[in-house]
Structure 1
Amino acid sequence: MVAFNVIKKDQEYWLADQIKMNQSKEVYWAELKTLLAAWESNQVNYLSLLMDAEYEEQLLNEGFHKVSSVVEYTRTLEERFILDSSIFVRSLSDSLMTDEEFAKLYDECRSGSANKNNLFSIDQIMEAFLNELGPNWRNHCHIFYKAKEPLGISIPHIEDGTTEEGRLFYFGVTPEHRGKGFGKVLHLYSLELLKNMHATYYVGSTDENNEYMIRIFKANGCLLRDKKGIYRIDK
């Protein structure tokens, strides 16, 4: 049984996400112990874990500390979305923007975020694109414009190990355009991008304290699916 999706970056970090299945708590805990043993033997700097809060006491006893909690929202992607014709989108591979300019825009979009799990520098994030999205990662990175002004970015992809689950590696609005209704509009565009990638449903997550993103989820028809804790253990 594969109980966790794990992203590995050499000896720097492992990122593990519990896969929700009809399995007992004992089975999940046994799988986690196996994962922990492998992490320790590989001498990786740290392990970041997304897991049900019901395991929290056991995780703390194992040496983890709690970073925050995230909520997951989901919806199907069957309907036709009505989009704002005054806004257009370009992929990084289809734009005049350089990788360096995109990195700067990404950093601007994540500034002031309510998400507490900001583990990585912008250089590490740009490096992770190739590892997590593949050699065509620039095709996944999208920039939204109104006239010639960037409004925000979105990075849609199909969740690894699935053929139909749409996710956003990142979604953000530039600070100067927040609070003006663009978040809902750009998120809806992102759902359309996922449909074009043949996703049949969407799963989005954010920090439980990120009321701004939660309002966007709800405004675009997403329903609460799950809540998990974020835990971290260091070498």
Structure 2
Amino acid sequence: MNLFNLIKKDQEYWLVDQLKVSHIPNIEYLVAFDKLLTEWKEQRVAYLSLLMDEENEDWLLKRRFKKVSSIVEYTKVLDGSYIASNTFQVEALSDSRVTDSDFATLYDLCRSGSANKNKLFSIRQIMESLERELGANWRDQCFIFSQDSMNYGISIPHIEQDTTDEGRMFYFGVVPEQRCKGYGTKFHAISLELLKTLGAKLYVGSTDTSNKHMRRIFEANGCRLRDIKGIYRIDIEKEFIQ
């Protein structure tokens, strides 16, 4: 049984997420992660970013990890309808006149000023990762919310790797000038419907513990708090400094 979800990008990074299962004792996670960490060191990958239960924080800090932040995970069973009305145009990138470059600019704008502290990637790296993580048809899963020719936000719903029905959002955001107007809650509800069309039965969303606005969006759309994890990072050049 896999105890961690792992995404690798050549020698640039490993992204590791603890897959918490109630009947698995914590010591099994520590043993499995120690093996993974040894492999990362042997391969000399630039850095490793980890999502893990905060009960292991002292154990990680002793292994030279630095804490970046904490995140909350929310879930919702997708068994209803979440859109009362919608006056916005919702268009996939593949069906729009928006270029990949313009979409990247919009994405970068939506993430500007975010309360999330874990900002690992440049927009170039993010755009490169879309096809790698979502597949060749990634543009079909990138949605733009607009009204009167103005772009208000984006959403990238997808089915989590190695699952058949767990819905996630690669990214979800509203442009800065349209925040705190209720659009985020509406766009998030539309995104839940988009996940249902992909076959998702359960939604899992996460955000930084300090991102109160996104947490209110989760709660407004009926999501329940499931877990809190720490974000930790270790860099190979620091690891091997004598």
- TM-score, normalised on structure 1? 0.98
For residue 69 of structure 2, what is the amino acid of its counterpart?
A: S
Residue matched to 2:2: 2
For residue 18 of structure 2, what is the amino acid of its counterpart?
A: Q
Within the alignment, does 1:76 sit opposite 2:77 as a pair? Answer: yes
User: Aligned pair count?
Assistant: 235
Residue matched to 1:198: 199
Contact in 2 for aligned 1:75/1:223 (Cα 8 Å): yes
- TM-score, normalised on structure 2? 0.96
Residue matched to 1:20: 20
Q: How does 1:24-63 map to 2 (within 5 A)?
A: 24-63=25-64
Contact in 2 for aligned 1:83/1:188 (Cα 8 Å): no
Which SS does the other structure have where 1:20 is aligned?
A: coil
Within the alignment, does 1:122 sit opposite 2:123 as a pair? Answer: yes
Deviation at 1:142, TM superposition (A): 0.5
Deviation at 1:82, TM superposition (A): 2.5
Which SS does the other structure have where 1:29 is aligned?
A: helix
Which SS does the other structure have where 1:187 is aligned?
A: helix
Residue matched to 2:222: 221
Residue matched to 1:154: 155
Which SS does the other structure have where 1:156 is aligned?
A: strand
Q: Give the unaligned 5+ runs of structure 2.
A: 237-242
For residue 65 of structure 1, what is the amino acid of its counterpart?
A: K
Q: Deviations over 1:46-76 (max 9, x none)?
A: 0000000000000000110000000000111
Q: Deviations over 1:104-128 (max 9, x none)?
A: 0000000000000010000000001
Residue matched to 1:167: 168
CA distance in 1, matches of 2:176, 2:159: 27
Deviation at 1:81, TM superposition (A): 2.3
Which SS does the other structure have where 2:27 is aligned?
A: helix
CA distance in 2, matches of 1:84, 1:100: 31
Q: Give the unaligned 5+ runs of structure 1.
A: none
Contact in 2 for aligned 1:109/1:175 (Cα 8 Å): yes
Per mean C-alpha deviation after superposition, the further-off stretch among 84-93 and 204-213 is 84-93
Contact in 1 for aligned 2:83/2:186 (Cα 8 Å): no
Deviation at 1:83, TM superposition (A): 4.0
Deviation at 1:84, TM superposition (A): 2.8
Residue matched to 1:11: 11
Residue matched to 2:112: 111
For residue 105 of structure 2, what is the amino acid of its counterpart?
A: K
Deviation at 1:163, TM superposition (A): 0.6
Percentage of identical aligned residues: 58
> Compared with structure 1, are the counterparts of its residues 103 and 83 closer, same or farther at alpha carbon in structure 2 (3 Å cutoff)?
farther
Per mean C-alpha deviation after superposition, the further-off stretch among 142-151 and 100-109 is 142-151
CA distance in 2, matches of 1:82, 1:231: 36
Greater than 2 Å deviation, 4+ residue runs? 81-85
Which SS does the other structure have where 2:40 is aligned?
A: helix
